[in-house]
Structure 1
């Protein structure tokens, strides 16, 4: 027969094994911890419960199959023993609830008839999160001992530390995601910034190079005509509003797999994948029409667009060998779109121009 010391030593050893098994996940760890408690206290029901306002919610539980209790079940908080536990300074341990001054008159005893109960509050960030509790319809056959209280407090301490750790990890993941988004988004227009667009363009070109059937795409450079004059006349706030409105116009008039970014100042850049010349012209017409309807200022606002449209080529032999790396051609593509933008402005603004070379094969850009 195990001595009280050896039983406690066994609990500590097994608790260490459970808490170190991070690779199994929190749910598996919690089930193992609850089962350890049920075995230690020789009780039928083990529950990790959280409290939200006046609601008691079963978060994790282990119980006999004939008991209709499962995670997600909710009860009125005041109708549970945990209402007493959460007000306690430490462990509440009652061997025979019916004979207890603490819980004998509690409505939960009349409703659920649980005779034996041992529980401890769970505190997170200085606030009561819920309880870890074990119970049984039958009275406890012996007295709860100080070693039982110590074991339960040890379990609760790990749960509190682990929940804080998981909360901090989640906050860190959220912060990292936000920082990553901030690093790739223009703060004024919420479009991609230049860096993020270049990364997307490189990925898109890599995909096109690997498409054996070839393909067509286009890079468009756009800027609002006479923007500096408008900005000086109406002020920077209205200038910023105009940029935001145009960003919204572009987002509404592009396909889900197209991409648009703020390239700098009043200049924007668009990637149109899998598109023909007719498709490009339709997009440009929609963008110009959308800007015409802008209500930012009481005068007509136009945009000039330079377009570089190209096709990939499928060679008969070793089709990948003839292609240059995307990093080598992105600057050339943008330069060609910029040349077309200059031509659109020279021709009177408020229009779009294709690069004078027309559509070319991707592997001739080096």
Structure 2
């Protein structure tokens, strides 16, 4: 009795060490757990397998060279001992399969010839996920003890809890990503929303103003013309469709490092980096043409564009502290682009207007 108690204490101690080794990763923990089982049961093959429909897939295994099994190997579920294990209420432990009424006539015995077998179903979220099983071609020299059953149940319990924890962690991570995406995305157009655009623009402006070499960029405000009349004539559903389709036009005509967003209502905002006036004009022409080609209504769809074209000049690090803050620069660019947009609309709309003939130096904005 004392010996069995010591064995049980040793299994629990080692199991505790393994399960606390989070810093070493899940793969390490599972392999260590299987190795513990092989030593405890004195068997040759240890497998954690997943069952999906009629397919049995080895996820983790430790086995000798004469049994070349490896993770990813798949078998027909009904051809494995685990088909019996998954139907049981707990541990299946058979010392000599050839003499067993349960497994002696099983196809897996004829195919693999595994004489010793001890296994338990793994349940995750109330559903049978697979099995943890240990086996050997040689008959087990003694009867499986209560400590063997208890040890396997402890191993399975930890695996089940850890899998649920990892699944919940993944779900929480995916939910957080989704929530973050929702918080930064305009629900109608799926473009970046105004808040997210502002945050990204601030970072870009800060990087832009610290450039060692002179660079040019531009902030564009794009306003779809006569949008209220469009809604009044065709309804808000058609108006929403125009916004959605124009958002696609915008996305298709921007480079991966440019930033485009729905700024509010029928106004879109674009930040073009590393571009001269001719490049800005090309983008505007493409946006105008793309909007015209939507063919969603009988009337010609047009937009007015106000542009603040800016430029940096080489400034040393000490001088940067004297600059206005990126937020002030951004507000000034938006204000100038908005003034140019108002001028475009006053000039008959369907126009592209720059706030100045030459790029505005960034250090003069306030």
The residue correspondences of 1:164-203 to structure 2 (distance < 5 A) are 164-203=164-203
Match of 1:191, SS state, is coil
> Which whole-Å CA distance do the structure 2 matches of 1:2 and 1:347 have between them?
98
- For 1:118, the equivalent position in structure 2 comes to 118
Contact 1:308 1:358 in 2 (8 A): no
**Partner of 2:154: helix, strand, or coil?**
helix
The equivalent residue for 1:362 is 362
Match of 2:37 in 1: 37
Q: State the 1:319 CA deviation.
A: 5.0
* Mean CA deviation greater in 279-288 or 197-206: 197-206
- TM-fit CA distance, 1:85: 0.4
Quote how far apart the aligned CAs of 1:318 are: 4.0
1:240-259 correspondence runs (5 A): 240-259=240-259
- Equivalents in 2 of 1:252, 1:10: separation in Å? 64
1:19-98 map, 5 Å: 19-98=19-98
How far does the alpha carbon of each residue in 1:224-260 deviate from its partner, in whole angstroms, 9 at most, with x for none? 1110111111100000001111111111111111111
Asked if residue 206 in structure 1 is aligned to residue 206 in structure 2, the reply is yes
2:323 counterpart residue number: 323
Mind listing any 5+ residue stretches in structure 1 that lack a counterpart?
none
CA distance in 1: counterparts of 2:135 and 2:298, whole angstroms: 74
Residue number in structure 1 paired with 2:311: 311
Instruction: Check 1:317–1:171 CA distance in 2 against 1; reply closer, same or farther (3 A cut).
Output: closer
Q: Counterparts of 1:317 and 1:131 in 2: how far apart (Å)? A: 63
Q: 1:69 to 1:2 in 2, by over 3 A?
A: farther
Q: Give the TM-score, by structure 1 length.
A: 0.98
> Following superposition of structure 1 onto structure 2, how do residues 320-359 of structure 1 map, counting pairs within 5 Å?
320-356=320-356, 358-359=358-359
Name the structure 2 match of 1:267: 267
**TM-score, scaled relative to structure 2:** 0.98
Determine if the alignment matches structure 1 residue 143 to structure 2 residue 143.
yes
- Distance in 1 (alpha carbons) for counterparts of 2:173 and 2:318: 44
Cα distance in 2 between the residues matched to 1:100 and 1:6: 31
RMSD: 1.3
- Report the alpha carbon displacement of residue 206 of structure 1 after superposing the two structures with TM: 1.6
Deviation at residue 209 of structure 1 after TM alignment: 2.1
Q: What secondary structure is seen at the aligned counterpart in 2 of 1:3?
A: helix
Q: Aligned equivalents of 1:277 and 1:140: distance in 2? A: 83
Q: Structure 2: which 5+ runs fail to align?
A: none
Query: What does the per-residue CA deviation read over 1:118-153, in whole Å, with 9 as the maximum and x for residues that have no partner?
Result: 000001111110000000111111000111111101
